[in-house]
Structure 1
Amino acid sequence: MKTFLKRSISMPAIILLCTGAGAAAPLGDKNGDGKLALAEFQSAFEIRIMRADTNTDGKISLDEWKARPAAGKGERDPSKVFATLDKNNDGFLEKAEIDPMARRRMILSIQTQTA
């Protein structure tokens, strides 16, 4: 998981997103409070992940997942990662499967920051 996390978005970027460290408000801070709430993080994460939805049907197929720019850059097989994320085994990633993934990423970034 850590390798996948590091390959997807750098830890310093996640820390800046979550804490609001730096001069500017964190990317995705919709309410302008200078902090990134879980819902804001999930929204920004979903937008980034859904870029892989090239046919704009609201879900990501395995072919779309494997065709995204980040696929194949890590040590993990994109097909295996997809199978792990596809919790309902319907062959697609949908919002209901992306939100928990974003939540885990945010928790991991906070744990890493405080460690």
Structure 2
Amino acid sequence: MTTLTHKLVALAALGLVAGAATYTPPAAAREVVEVVTVGTRPPPPRFERVPPPRSGYVWAPGYWNWYGGRYVWVGGRWNNYRPGYVYRPPVWRPYGRGYRIERETWVRDPRWHR
């Protein structure tokens, strides 16, 4: 082999080594569970006029969220309907000497038959 061929082979090998050394595999997907416990009771819910039903959607009522060291109102919104599931809105529950929020979720409807 010629000197140029040796140089190209060495350069290609160096590139492969450098690429392998700097490769980082993508992180595995995981669910982030945020636990918020607050020492004071949340304010009473605000009145929201629930809009007329929409086909294919479920109304998610507004709720108080803890953000930036205080309660912040999050207004209601429409969520896409999920066949076989029931929407559970967020709710604040007493926890120790404070309150903890249970985030909104979709749970399997036990009456659902495929």
Q: Which has the higher contact order (CA 8 A, sep 6+)?
A: 1
- The TM-score bracket by the shorter chain reads under 0.3
Larger Rg: 2
Q: What is the TM-score of this pair, normalised by structure 1?
A: 0.22
- Greater fraction of residues in strand: 2
- Greater fraction of residues in helix: 1
